[in-house]
Amino acid sequence: MEWRDDGLIIGTKKHGETSVIVEAMTRAHGRHFGLVRGGRSKRMQPLLQPGNYAELVWRARLDEHLGTFSVEPVQLRTARLMASAEALHAVCLVAALLRLGPERDPHPALYETAMRIAGGIDRPEILAPLIVRFEAEILAQMGFGLDLETCAATGATDDLVYVSPKSGRAVSKAAGEPYKARLLPLPAFLRGEIAAPPAADIRNGFRLTGFFLLRDLFGPRGQTLPEARGAYLAELAKRFGSAA
């Protein structure tokens, strides 16, 4: 069996003395593993680092086998990632979130957003809102999507500023005012209303998605939120000058 696809490398693991197992998020074949023979050589190691974009050829005798990858790098990002702790933690966070889905399950929307994040590592002003949207998309793709289009109490579509922590549905300012201490803030950029959101909205976005990621995805698996997420938010705090 053989297929060709574009892929974002999200992880590697040593195998034997000379090879590595590469984990990649591909456009059409989902999160997929493959053995790269000689992947620990000095020539190959820089090509197989997380965050790199490559063309992959996967071959195996049977579909259920691990198979092998042939890797043709398209865009190398290692030097840029090593120059920015924020960017490095962002890529690690994306990888951790992608692992929530089953192997070989195509999610083209997640692939495209992950590629946008990897491509935006030199632009921190767009990186944070992209990652919040990515977390919301992960929730949706895993069956726990937030309903941010209409007010859960009134059906209104305007002035939606809260989210119910119970239902994951938006709540308007008027309907939520008596209960605002128990509701989560809804940043406008998650509804597509602001292209460059302020720091407070980004913090509220991560607070919102983090609550549901922990409750619906990580918590039931007996896991906490990824270490990479905490590390990324700590870098954001340094940039914003306040706790993220």
Same domain, 8 and 123: no
pLDDT band at 241 (very low <50, low <70, confident <90, very high): confident
Q: Which of 206, 214, 194 is closest to 240 using CA atoms? A: 206
pLDDT of residue 134: 97
Give the pTM. Answer: 0.93
Question: CATH number for the domain including 7?
Answer: 2.40.50.140
51 and 135 belong to one structural domain: no
Residue 244 has pLDDT above 50, yes or no: no
Q: Does residue 62 lie within any of the structural domains?
A: yes
- Flag whether 65 is in a domain: yes
Q: 71 and 38, same structural domain?
A: yes
Q: How much of the chain, in percent, has pLDDT values that exceed 90?
A: 91
Let me know if residue 49 belongs to a domain: yes
Q: Quick check: 194 pLDDT over 70?
A: no
Q: Is the pLDDT of residue 243 over 60?
A: no
Among 35, 56, 76, residue at a domain's last position? 76
The mean pLDDT of 8-29, rounded to a whole number, is: 97
Q: Quote the domain boundaries for residue 140.
A: 81-148+186-240
Q: Is the pLDDT of residue 67 over 90?
A: yes
**Same-domain check for residues 12 and 111:** no
| Joined tokens for residue 164 | 């119910």
Q: Is the pLDDT of residue 9 over 70?
A: yes
